[in-house]
Structure 1
Amino acid sequence: MTDQDAASDEDRVADQCQAADQDRVDDQEADGVRQFWRDLGLPGLIDVHTHFMPKNVLDKVWAYFDAAGPLVNRPWPITYREAEEQRVRRLREFGVRAFTSMLYPHKPGMAGWLNAWAADFAARTPECLHTATFFPEPEAPGYVARAVEDGARVFKAHLQVGGYDPTDPLLDEVWGLLAATGTPVVTHCGSGPVPGRFTGPGPIGEVLDRHPGLVLVVAHLGMSEYRDFLDLAERHPSVRLDTTMAFTDFAEAEDPFPREELTRLRGLGERVLLGSDFPNIPYRYVHQLEALAGLGLGEEWLRAVCHDNAAALFDIKPEG
């Protein structure tokens, strides 16, 4: 055996050991996630804020995070940088009963083909809540109506990445249709991690004033304007909040949730939904759950947030 062959064998053994170690970490995490919801007496989790999108789009999103782009503004390693089928399998191993494929355009002409991809993904992924999106463009009312007719159950609107005004007249018919059909819209409208031209409670608050029945799910609890979005939810009974990244060590380092507002958050317990941002998170999935449990708001609140509220919103029936 040559020195080169010996070195290759050593590398191969090292790779196998590393893979075995990673498998153990993955198994331990899946066990921890499943134990979390079992201890609460739940049949699993429902995560309303997970990202699945075409590979070429997701690769660009990951590259943006890797570069700590201006909308990220800090190092942001992707924990679950895996192929699509591996990411789906991981959520299944966690016991996530239903999840979304949050995707979003950053320019005109994207939303229609993103919606086509998302419809196909939902058709081949039974746990996925058929997700769609839109952008302020003349075609938006038509493709949004088609998506609803085709079974879309939730929409994504990203005001920070899209850089658009939600009060744009091109979207008025869209918001009206979604309000009339009761279709939830998960919306990144808060100014975390950095403000956008149309983030904050003002612009999206105007939309709610025009369409008071709109089922708006405020992503990230409205980070960084937590108080303002709690106000918005208290004014509008149709508004929900998702927990995505909130209370994690990563978020608390720069955008801490004001602890004096936890009483208000508990009071809105029937309208708070679990979100994670999987796979685009710089920590393990279980950390989001541990962070929520660490708030001390009680098991009833946790059961509602981690499963029951979303099950009611999306009419997800018990298994069996």
Structure 2
Amino acid sequence: MPVPPEVAVEARRVRAFWRELGLPGLIDVHTHFMPRRVLDKVWAYFDSVGPLTSVAWPIAYRFDEDRRLAVLRGFGVRAFTSMVYPHKPGMAAWLNEWSAGFAARTPDCLHTATFFPEPDAPAYLARALAAGARVCKAHVQVGGYDPADPLLDPVWGLLADAGVPTVVHAGSGPAPGAHTGPGPVAAVLARHPGLRLVIAHMGMPEYREFLDLADAHPGVHLDTTMAFTDFSERMSPFPPGLRPRLAHHADRILFGSDFPNIPYGYAHALEVLARLGQDTVDAAWLRAVCHDNALRLFPSAARP
């Protein structure tokens, strides 16, 4: 499917980035594919300059589903996710059904599931895992729930036993919620220390505290989604003093983009990683973050 000329130019920049690193492509652990009526509501929120952002947020890749897939593939993204998340009870089960269908017809998408603190959460998550879900999404901020809610305890237990990673938006950016921050996540890890968690957005803006959790728990990873970009640096700059810790966790940082819901080009999210400086990152770090770490966490992301 053809893409607009400006996206074709962007694709050349993206492909040049990973080719220079000697990679076969990219793995993006934080992309959003949703039922159309849900995605329309998400885009309407960003269009209205919602209260959580309070800044203009033009959607860079506002295309229909087929074209969005063509764009990612044109960038050389070999595997990606369909991050869905409920904002109220009764949504998660049907979102999981949609995600299962999307993964079935989209072989380069990692089968994604989600959950909400409700009595039937263990049952529908067990069904999703049995159906092949390889990654979960928990959006503490949008969902407005405590990840340590007792209703979720069996859910976390299922995920720990299955070794299935969960991408968790628990940081207080772009605005704090009732249960955002490292404390609730630490409470979950205290009960389920074997969990594999991927802290979205590097834990923005509580970068230090979420890096501390990664120090304490070998199953805690972080994704780069929107971090280090010019857009985010204006609101929640990553402290320069923490940059050496990025090298320390070179094996547990994963590239994520938030595609398509980003207010800048995809290449920028990659190029800002390289500009962190050779005193912080090198080509081996970039290869690990942009591909190898995710491949280790999601072996099914391997493509011929």
Q: TM-score range by the shorter chain?
A: over 0.9
Pair 1:203-2:184 in alignment: yes
Please state if 1:162 is matched with 2:143. yes
**Hey, what does 2:12 align to over in structure 1?**
31
1:302 Cα deviation after fit: 0.2
Paired residue for 1:11?
none
Give the Å deviation of 1:64: 0.6
Q: Does 1:242 align with 2:223?
A: yes
The DSSP-based 3-state class of the residue aligned with 1:206 is helix
**Corresponding residue for 1:300?**
284
1:187 paired to 2:168: yes
1:163–1:197 Cα contact (<8 Å) kept: yes
In the alignment, which residue of structure 1 is the partner of 2:90? 109
Separation (CA, whole Å) in 2 of partners of 1:217 and 1:291: 20
Q: Which runs of 4+ in 1 moved over 2 A?
A: 316-320
Query: How many pairs were matched up?
Result: 300
Q: Any unmatched runs of 5+ in structure 2?
A: none
Q: CA deviation at 1:28?
A: 1.2
Contact 2:110 2:301 survives alignment (8 Å): no
What amino acid does structure 2 have at the position aligned with 1:313?
Answer: L
TM-score by length of 2: 0.97
| Aligned twin of 1:266 | 247
Aligned equivalents of 2:87, 2:205: Cα separation in 1: 22
Question: 1:227 is paired with a residue of what secondary structure?
Answer: helix
Output the CA distance in 2 between the equivalents of 1:268 and 1:317.
Answer: 21
Please state how far the C-alpha of 1:72 moved relative to its aligned partner: 2.1
1:279 alignment partner in structure 2: 260
The AA in structure 2 aligned to 1:83 is: D
- Residue 241 of structure 2 corresponds to residue 257 of structure 1: no
User: How many Å apart are 1:317 and its aligned residue?
Assistant: 6.4
- Aligned residue in 1 for 2:108: 127
Looking at structure 2, the residues matched to 58 and 103 of structure 1 have their Cα atoms a distance apart, in angstroms, of: 9
The alpha-carbon deviation at position 23 of structure 1 amounts to 3.1
Greater Cα offset, 310-319 or 112-121:
310-319
Aligned with residue 120 of structure 2, among 126, 134, 139: 139
Q: Deviations over 1:276-309 (max 9, x none)?
A: 0000000000000010111121100000000000
Supply the AA of the counterpart residue of 1:210.
R
**Shift of the alpha carbon at 1:134?**
0.2
**Residue 214 (str. 1) matches residue 198 (str. 2):** no
Q: Is the 8 A contact 1:73 1:194 kept in 2?
A: no
Does residue 49 of structure 1 match 2:26?
no
Deviation at 1:319, TM superposition (A): 4.2
Q: What amino acid is the match of 1:102?
A: M
Q: For residue 26 of structure 1, report the CA deviation from its aligned partner.
A: 1.6
Give identity over the alignment, percent.
67
Pairwise CA distance, 1:71 = 2.0
Q: Deviations over 1:182-240 (max 9, x none)?
A: 00000000000000000000011100110000000000000010000000100000000
For structure 1, which runs of at least 5 residues remain unmatched after alignment?
Answer: 1-19
Is this contact kept in 1: 2:108–2:301, CA < 8 A?
A: no
Instruction: Quote the Cα distance in structure 2 between the aligned partners of 1:317 and 1:157.
Output: 21
1:315 counterpart = 2:299: yes
One-letter amino acid of the structure 2 residue matched with residue 301 of structure 1: W
Take 1:48 and 1:194, find their aligned partners in 2: how far apart are those partners? 23
Structure 2 CA distance for aligned equivalents of residues 31 and 75 of structure 1 = 27
Which SS does the other structure have where 1:152 is aligned?
coil
The CA distance in 1 between the partners of 2:66 and 2:6, in whole Å, is 19
Q: What's the TM-score, normalizing by structure 1? A: 0.92
Distance in 1 (alpha carbons) for counterparts of 2:117 and 2:260: 27
